[in-house]
A and B are shown apart, each in its own frame.
Chain A
Amino acid sequence: MSAFALENTEGKPVAVALSERVHWVGAFDPDLRTFDIILKTANGTSYNAYVVRGNAGVAIIDTVKEEFADEFFARLESIADYSEITVIVLNHLEPDHTGALPELMKRAPQAQLYISQKAQSMLKGLLKQDEISFIPVLTGDTVSLGDRSLYFLHTPYLHWPDTQCTYVPEEKTLFSGDVFGCHFCDKRLFNNETGDFRFSFEYYYAHIMRPFKEYVLRALELIEPLPLKLIAPTHGPILRDRPERYIQRYRQLSSPGLHSELSPNQKTLLIFYISSYGNTRRMAEAIYKGAMQVQDVRVSLYDLEGGEVSPFVDLIEDADGLILGTPTINGDAPKPIWDLLSSLTVVNLKSKLGGVFGSYGWTGEGVRLVEDRLRGLKLRVPIPGLRVKLIPTVDEIMECEAFGLELAQELMGLRENKIINFADLA
């Protein structure tokens, strides 16, 4: 049994104290199984919202999903009067935490809304009203509640562009938004009382934060120096037992692995192919050979049919360049290629080098389609895709070697200055 009550004697939801001045006023959603389309949860989730009370003001930090507004308002009413609320903070604008905002603004019209600098243009799109008054804040901005204060940390892209965290120094408490959260519904609420949620924590990171590792590392620079007693995220357990462990875990998960084994001047280039009659494979081997001629490029060649997608995604995340070989089958690249490509949204590919090649019979669309997809994934694709009709000739094999060589040189920044006319670009 927990040491706190979630309801009063009449069965009405009430707030839960994290300290004398900080209360949880969130809601439980035990029936949820799929979140944001991309996440599964086996026991639902919680939408955590909080109240911070100072002797000169009361702040609400985040709200809940719209359907759960009643539960949120009931808990809030058990601890504060609407007229006392001076501040509303939104750590990001996603509807699972802003759903009750319009109603809250009606009930506490005097409260001042604080959002991150980057949230300004999104607020309009979300509330569909003009003339919303708000104060945009950045790292270092503070708001006083008298003997308690809010200190903002600008932590963009974790996982929305407008994400921020809010720190209350007098409580040594970080309101981290979705950062350090997970979809796990457990009414015991605190990490030293709930069931084992580590798998949810890891899973949430892998699907929500992983694409933004670079930004996680930047945010950790701001978070790590803070004296911390408690982390209060917007989903899942409240981290009051050794919160620093979760920060350390985020650092581990966000730090590159393989790079530590490469010398600083080396770069990695991965070649993946799939092939029904061996034609694309012959091309792949020649491209591999060509790329191997360039010093300091660590090239690897893999047949997509020989592995699972997920370890390949890990490899690609840490690589500097990615070359894909695909035949054209029924007017398209075959499904294993698209399976790999559709799994890459969990990693950041921006500015990696990309290249595509493949054998075809009569139409050969596969290569172009994959090139477009790589560009869509924000890779740079400087050298047009290489296509060979059916079985590569000796000359075509040499072209493949040159293609590999050129891509490897491009990767190492060894290509000479080129002057091109726009009209000649494909």
Chain B
Amino acid sequence: MAKATITFEDINVTVTVPAGTRVIEVSEKVGSAITYGCREGDCGTCLMKVTDGWNNLTEPSVLEDKVLRDNMAGKHNRLACQAQALGGKICVKPA
């Protein structure tokens, strides 16, 4: 199965994950400060900054795009509960 690596820059931890893994699943387990609220892409709690490998994540859905806009998220921001790793190298940290 395809693999990706996600690096959580705030805690200096890199995790090798199967493709399709949502960032929040990993973040929660390793204890990064990217924490969650609703887990459904609505509340914006899990907002994170993607510092590397933006294209190695699934594209934001229409809903996520809207939530990002409502929360006035900056460029390179995603919701950790929505973004799934596709492959390659991804670096994230809390927004």
Contact = CB atoms under 8 A, between A and B. Distances in A.
B14 interface: yes
Contacts of B66: 121
User: Which one of B32, B70, B72 has the greatest number of beta carbons of chain A within 10 Å?
Assistant: B70
B40 interface: no
A351 B12 contact: no
Nearest to B25: A422
Contacts of B14: 417-420
Contacts of B71: 118
B12 A418 contact: yes
Given A381-B31, A382-B31, A421 B45 contact: no
B59 interface: no
B91 to A, nearest CB: 12
A425 B26 contact: yes
Nearest to A417: B12
Contacts of B16: 419-422
B94 to A, nearest CB: 7
A380 interface: yes
Interface string A112-141: 000001101100000000000000000000
A267 B16 CA distance: 31
Nearest to A375: B28
Interface string A401-414: 00000000010010
B87 to A, nearest CB: 14
B35 interface: yes
Interface in A384-426: 410, 413, 415-422, 425-426
A316 B78 CA distance: 30
B11 A380 contact: yes
A117 to B, nearest CB: 6
A250 B77 CA distance: 31
User: Which one of A117, A378, A382, A416 has the greatest number of beta carbons of chain B within 10 Å?
Assistant: A382
Given A351-B94, A382-B30, A426-B29, A420 B35 contact: no
A353 B11 CA distance: 11
A62 B84 CA distance: 41
Contacts of A419: 13-16
B42 A421 contact: no
Contacts of B29: 425-426
A91 to B, nearest CB: 17
A117 B11 contact: no
B70 A117 contact: yes
Nearest to A415: B12
Contacts of A378: 35-37, 45
A415 B21 contact: no
Contacts of B12: 413, 415-418
B30 A425 contact: yes
Contacts of B17: 422
A383 interface: yes
Contacts of A379: 35
A417 B36 CA distance: 23
Contacts of B32: 380, 382
B28 A117 contact: no
Given A375-B28, A378-B37, A383-B31, 14 more contacts: A117-B70, A118-B70, A120-B70, A121-B42, A350-B33, A351-B33, A380-B35, A382-B30, A417-B12, A418-B12, A418-B13, A419-B16, A422-B15, A422-B16
21 contacts: A117-B72, A118-B71, A121-B42, A350-B33, A351-B94, A375-B28, A378-B45, A380-B11, A380-B35, A382-B11, A382-B30, A410-B11, A418-B12, A419-B15, A419-B16, A420-B30, A421-B15, A422-B15, A422-B17, A422-B21, A426-B29
